[in-house]
Amino acid sequence: MRNRLTNIKVIVKLYILVLSVFTMFRVIFFIANINHISKIDPEGKFINIIKAFLMGLRFDIVVSGQILFLPFIALSAMFVINRYSKIVHKAIYLYTLILFIVAFTISAIDVPFFMNFFERFNISAFQWIDSPAFMFKMIIGEPLYWFMFIPYVIIIYIFNRFLKKILIKTNNTLDSKFSNTTVRTIISLVFAFVMFIGIRGRLESKSPIRIGTAYFCNNAFLNMSGLNPTFTFIKSALDKGKSRYAEINIMPEEEAVSYVANKFSIINTQGDKSPISRTINPDSISDKKPNVVLIIMESMSCGKMGIYGNNDNLTPFLDSLSNHCYTFDNIYSAGIHTFNGVYGTLMSYPALFLQHPMKGTRIKKYNGIASNLKNNGYSTLYFTTHDGQFDNIEGFLYANDFERVISESDYPSDRVVSTLGVPDDYLFEYSIPVLNKLAKKDKPFFATLMTASDHGPYTIPDYYTPTRDMSKKKQIVEYADWSLRKMINMAKKENWFDNTIFVFVADHGHPIDPKYKISLNYHHIPMMFYSPKIIKNPKRMSNLGGQIDLFPTLMGIMNIPYENNTLGVDLLKHNREYMYMCSDNKFGVINHEYFLVVEKEIKGLYKYKNGDLRNYATENRELVNKMERYGKANMQAAQYIIKNDLQK
């Protein structure tokens, strides 16, 4: 009996075989880490373990598809020309055997590796590659590595037997039923597309599967157990070679740490703790902990606001609000990307040139807002309008004590208007019932809402009518401001409003009328703390600061003791001499008169308030050196802390 669709049948059999093997290793992984399983919250424990296995299957399909795609092309070529080649099948057998043995070896090593380091296997395992003898002795002397040897040998033996049966011992001649070359080609292309979807790991268009996709809950073990160690290893190797993940080296580390510690009035920078960690104890502690609603506004540059000189009346609500809250007029974003803004705001760490802090193979844990408030009994959640996997935001936040992330998949499909998901006002409308449920619990809540409407492609809802005829870029700003007013008006009707602090900040600004290599309007952003019942003496303040200062300033307003292990300061108690910012491969430092732009060896010093384009760097070398040192020291100190995993 001749086989039909031989190329597809063979590949499907191979998929079933290799996925079964990966699943065996995942079972062993769970058994080896039974101590972590026992610590999982009993509520929903079984369901979450099933979810972890299903997530693991997704990552296994990605890895399997990457390896099997080339064999499928070879098999399909034979299928299309209606010829069978024993030599090609043997070549496919050897190719598949070698690559999957490598993948299964990684899976075997991953078990003791995880038990040692609580991380899935990655490139850091080769940190002793310059000392192979030491590494070899370490491996053979560690019982955990021998733990996997016997099951590994048995699994490889069984795998090889089945692989031979599928590729070598099966009659793989073709059925003449598919004699038409065009039909055979179309069939092969359709299945190739299906394989491509599996390799990509996701149907959503914004991004393929990534490390953060595996993070579906707040249990770190369950989140990591869904990963495939071959995937994490390859991803870590690729990341290490990318400049955007390169560690910065712009100043001697000891000098940078000492400089920053001195600015923070920290005397002792030695020991196992972070050299910038300081315990903050308020003069008095509030009897009732307030709720916090943090709204991170997409692209809301101060250059769009009336109180900062814009005459288009685009932000009447924010402008009016500025007189009823703590308004900081000289705040600057850490970088120019949304991930810079979310990271800088929530974790109080600066942007470090091209680094993407949320996308590394290992998602780092920070002692940020959510962690501190969760430790103080708060519920923590984050709302985004679009796909939660974009920028790896969902995985990063789950790893950093956000208990729930609400994203595009949670909203009704008919309310999703673009790739950016739902419009701002619906985001706020959706959030109110969620916050109402949290308010009924016997604990305060911390909610972050990240807007997106003021980002192209701009989509203005049909039910909103702009006040006048103007460009869509201006209309969308007006709509975003209208949505903020709607949010506050809805919140005022709720019982929890009086005991809530609303914080408004932007992820970054917009390059309106850029005059220098770094656009100040891209970094100059609003920061407002609004709570009529809690902030009883509202005022506008002109001291310099950044979005990285939001967290310590908020904790100061709330009168909650905490450990500040960040580069941020409480702006109500600390005056910055300068503020610094990154624009990918450049950085800037600003004071009340001058703006310094540094791009490698090129330095520009400008009197920015009147748009002066003259470079004052040559005649103000001492000031340039002071400002440059301030920026470099803060960024290098941040790099040192992150590199040494002291940011927790």
Residue 509 is predicted with a pLDDT of 95
Report the alpha-carbon distance of residue 371 to residue 378 in Å, rounded. 9
Among residues 553, 572, 591, the one where a domain terminates is 572
Same domain, 230 and 296: no
Parallel, antiparallel or unpaired: strands 326-332 and 539-546: parallel
- Across the chain, which distance is largest between two alpha carbons, in Å? 89
Same domain, 318 and 185: no
Report the alpha-carbon distance of residue 347 to residue 360 in Å, rounded. 16
Tell me if 357 is assigned to some domain. yes
Average pLDDT on 621-648 reads 96
Same domain, 216 and 311: no
Report the alpha-carbon distance of residue 47 to residue 87 in Å, rounded. 47
Please choose, from the candidates 501, 474, 573, 521, the residue with its C-alpha nearest in 3D space to the C-alpha of residue 331: 521
Tell me if 434 is assigned to some domain. yes
Please choose, from the candidates 289, 383, 305, 374, the residue with its C-alpha nearest in 3D space to the C-alpha of residue 342: 383
| Residue 125 region by backbone torsions, left for phi larger than 0, else alpha for psi between -120 and 50, else beta | alpha
State which residues form the domain around 73. 6-241
Residue 17 has pLDDT above 50, yes or no: yes
Domain count along the chain? 2
User: What average pLDDT does the structure give for the chain?
Assistant: 90
Residue 92 has pLDDT above 90, yes or no: yes
Residue 648 has pLDDT above 60, yes or no: yes
Residue 2 has pLDDT above 50, yes or no: no
Tell me if 617 is assigned to some domain. no
Tell me if 279 is assigned to some domain. no
Same domain, 228 and 326: no
Tell me if 318 is assigned to some domain. yes
Question: What is the DSSP code (8-state) at residue 25?
Answer: H
Same domain, 423 and 506: yes
- Residue 305's CATH number: 3.40.720.10
Please choose, from the candidates 430, 483, 450, 439, the residue with its C-alpha nearest in 3D space to the C-alpha of residue 382: 450
Cβ(40)–Cβ(221) below 8 Å? yes
Tell me if 63 is assigned to some domain. yes
Report the alpha-carbon distance of residue 618 to residue 624 in Å, rounded. 9
Residue 529 neighbours by CB under 8 Å, 6+ apart: 325, 326, 501, 502, 503, 535, 553, 554, 557
Please choose, from the candidates 57, 67, 63, the residue with its C-alpha nearest in 3D space to the C-alpha of residue 24: 57
Residue 594: which pLDDT band, with cuts at 50, 70 and 90?
very high
Same domain, 544 and 401: yes
Per the omega criterion (within 30 degrees of 0), is the bond before 457 cis? Answer: yes
Express each pLDDT in 143-179 by its tens digit: 666 777 889 999 999 999 999 999 987 655 555 455 6
Interior angle at CA 111, CA 107 and CA 112, nearest 5: 130
Same domain, 327 and 409: yes
Percent of the chain with pLDDT over 90: 71
Residue 245 is predicted with a pLDDT of 60
Q: Given CA atoms 180, 181, 186, 188 in this order, what sign does their dihedral have?
A: positive
More reliable by pLDDT, 434 or 185:
434
Same domain, 520 and 402: yes
Residue 180 is predicted with a pLDDT of 79
Q: How many CA atoms lie within 13 A of 28 on its CB side?
A: 22
Express each pLDDT in 337-349 by its tens digit: 999 999 999 999 9
Express each pLDDT in 381-409 by its tens digit: 999 999 888 888 999 999 999 999 999 99
Report the alpha-carbon distance of residue 140 to residue 7 in Å, rounded. 42
Same domain, 296 and 235: no
Tell me if 137 is assigned to some domain. yes
More reliable by pLDDT, 79 or 480:
480
Same domain, 31 and 121: yes
Tell me if 345 is assigned to some domain. yes
Express each pLDDT in 56-74 by its tens digit: 999 999 999 999 999 999 9
Residue 335 has pLDDT above 70, yes or no: yes
Same domain, 405 and 472: yes
Question: Dihedral through CA 56, CA 60, CA 63, CA 68, nearest 10?
Answer: -170
Residue 526: which pLDDT band, with cuts at 50, 70 and 90?
very high
Count, in order, helices (H) and strands (E) of the chain: 20, 14
Among residues 534, 549, 572, the one where a domain terminates is 572
Per the omega criterion (within 30 degrees of 0), is the bond before 444 cis? Answer: no
Same domain, 326 and 472: yes
Report the alpha-carbon distance of residue 164 to residue 179 in Å, rounded. 28
Residue 3 is predicted with a pLDDT of 44
Express each pLDDT in 452-503 by its tens digit: 999 888 999 999 999 999 999 999 999 999 999 999 999 999 999 999 999 9
Integer-rounded Cα radius of gyration of the chain: 28
Among residues 536, 557, 572, the one where a domain terminates is 572
